[in-house]
Structure 1
Amino acid sequence: MTTISQTAGRSLRPSSSSGFLATLVTAAYALFDRLERRTAVKTLNELDDRALRDIGITRSQIEDAVYGQFKTELTRYL
């Protein structure tokens, strides 16, 4: 009697559709992150200078603060 394995027809390589899906998910996360940061920049730009000073940044530092380039300087004061 002969037995046939159920995995005989399957490829051992991952399918290309899973790679495409992972790329699509990564792109979606990047898009949502970008939109969230743009909203944060817009919101901070709408604040007056006194409110920004209370936060600890100046108007010229808004984008650096939102995109994380200002973080090391902020932690010095905390």
Structure 2
Amino acid sequence: METYLQNTKYILLAINCDGVGLKNSLMAVSLIECDSETENRLNKIMLKRTGIEFIDPWAQGDQMLFVLKHIPTVIFTSSGVF
């Protein structure tokens, strides 16, 4: 991982799936470090789907390797995981 994060100019978007599929939970999505254009594009796609809710970002998880480098990151988890 460290090798890839030394030169981040080729990383457009990080996607972290962690805790997905918890029984009787919605899919939860969080966007971090995304510019408004990226957020609008992702929202347009995800808001067409049922069973998805947007949640506030959290600081634990593998996504932080990318977030700390200011790389746009999408996190998928289950709404009941916390």
Q: Same fold (TM over 0.5)?
A: no
Q: Which has the larger radius of gyration?
A: 1
TM-score by length of structure 2 reads 0.26
Q: Which has the higher helix share?
A: 1
TM-score by length of structure 1 reads 0.28
Q: Which has the higher strand share?
A: 2
Q: Which has the higher contact order (CA 8 A, sep 6+)?
A: 2
